[in-house]
Structure 1
């Protein structure tokens, strides 16, 4: 089956090339890599153009990560879908291991694995202790760690563009409620970069509010109609 990978990028010139190379360098490479440049004002687009026909690059007006990911999904042709954040890295055997898991058990619809968090080498020394994670390696039910059958992804519906910081949390909760069958590879599949520009660290108030909104939507969806 064909594998499509979607990346949403915004002002990602520092890390996007390394992220893309980690996809193209897989032991089993994806069939297409789609990068949506979400209105970057730095050199992101120039870096994407440097990959030529090795990737599909599309630029849109800045609309948020959820909108960009949905756009990428609309362009994707694969029967299996993966994701990567513009500042993270896939380990070399990610796709190989997840494809083997999905092949062994046809009932599994989405494969996850472990995530290793690391402080980016470019972070100044005075900030490294603050960014050092309490847990380095953890189970990774994160977007960038998931490989999913397109049919299962579509069954749960598109990502909620009103929740730009927590859209994947909300989607995964909805997908599990609808019966998504998942399994985990017991290997590190993604290296999550921690740096001063991480959205989850710089926009914690927005993330907390959107998590609350996502929970309210999930509770409302479970209530029987009046």
Structure 2
């Protein structure tokens, strides 16, 4: 799924022979929901174009999933890295977490596609925080979630990360998520 990226991701993916669907500025939740409805595999892993899976991430997530037969979602940790094209002045403005950290980032987890039948899809009204909201739905639906103590995602930090540019909007979305659950 390509949410009208401006970094040539669409053309790069097409050149590899991958099936790529373009969504016109619908947001991450809409793009993920469309992709989910088109997916035919048993497992789902979301990966944003600017992030990178750690070596052996898929193997480690799959093994952890298979070790517990009732497991629906397995999450690993993320580790930040600074995009190499940034100047030293830009790098100084970034808050880089040196160690692996937990949290609900899309590329950190392997998800059984069937869990979406119980939890529902991502809330397309949220422009950020949609993964946290969905994970709360997953837990409320009684899905079994497991976390492994391994870095599975390398999260690229750059000057256009959504959280950096839209902090106020992001906080409003998290407030809406909390209100929904009160």
TM bracket, shorter-chain basis: over 0.9
C-alpha root-mean-square deviation of aligned residues, in Å?
Answer: 1.5
Contact between 2:14 and 2:20, CA under 8 Å: does it hold in 1?
yes
Q: Distance in 1 between matches of 2:97 and 2:77?
A: 15
Structure 2 contact 9–49 (Cα < 8 Å) conserved: no
Q: Which residue of 2 aligns with 1:88?
A: 51
TM-score by length of 1: 0.76
Q: Is the CA contact 1:37–1:57 (under 8 Å) kept in the aligned structure 2?
A: yes
The alpha carbon displacement at 1:199 in A equals: 0.5
Which has the larger displacement, 176-185 or 210-219? 176-185
Shift of 1:42: 5.5
Contact 1:37 1:58 in 2 (8 A): yes
* Alpha-carbon distance, 1:162 to partner: 0.2
The DSSP-based 3-state class of the residue aligned with 1:77 is coil
Shift of 1:182: 1.2
Instruction: Choose which of 130, 152, 157 in structure 2 pairs with 1:189.
Output: 152
1:170 corresponds, among 117, 121, 133, to 133
Aligned partner of 1:51 among 10, 13, 16: 16
Encode CA deviations 1:164-193: one digit per residue, 9 max, x unaligned.
211111111121122221112221110011
Deviations 1:48-81 (A, max 9, x none): 22111xx220113221111111111111001111
Using the TM superposition, give the Cα deviation of residue 122 of structure 1 relative to its aligned residue in structure 2, in angstroms: 1.2
Correspondence for 1:115: 78
Q: CA deviation at 1:103?
A: 1.3
Q: Superposition pairs for residues 123-142 of structure 1, below 5 Å?
A: 123-134=86-97, 136-142=99-105
2:119 aligned to 136, 146, 156, which one? Answer: 156
Which position in structure 2 is the counterpart of 1:103? 66
Cα 1:46/1:146, change in 2 over 3 Å? same
CA distance in 2: counterparts of 1:43 and 1:85, whole angstroms: 13
Q: Which of 28, 36, 51 is residue 73 of structure 1 equivalent to? A: 36
Change (3 A) 1:178 1:169: same
Q: Which has the higher contact order (CA 8 A, sep 6+)?
A: 2
- Please, which runs of 5 or more residues in structure 2 have no aligned partner? none
CA distance in 2, matches of 1:192, 1:98: 17
**Is 2:4 the counterpart of 1:39?**
yes
Q: CA deviation at 1:41?
A: 5.1
TM-score between the two structures when normalised by the length of structure 2: 0.93
Corresponding residue SS for 2:80: strand
**Larger strand percent:** 1
Deviation per residue, 1:168-224 (Å, 9 max, x gap): 1111112112222111222111001110010011110110001001111122xxxxx
CA distance in 2, matches of 1:96, 1:155: 26
Q: Which residue matches 2:180?
A: 217
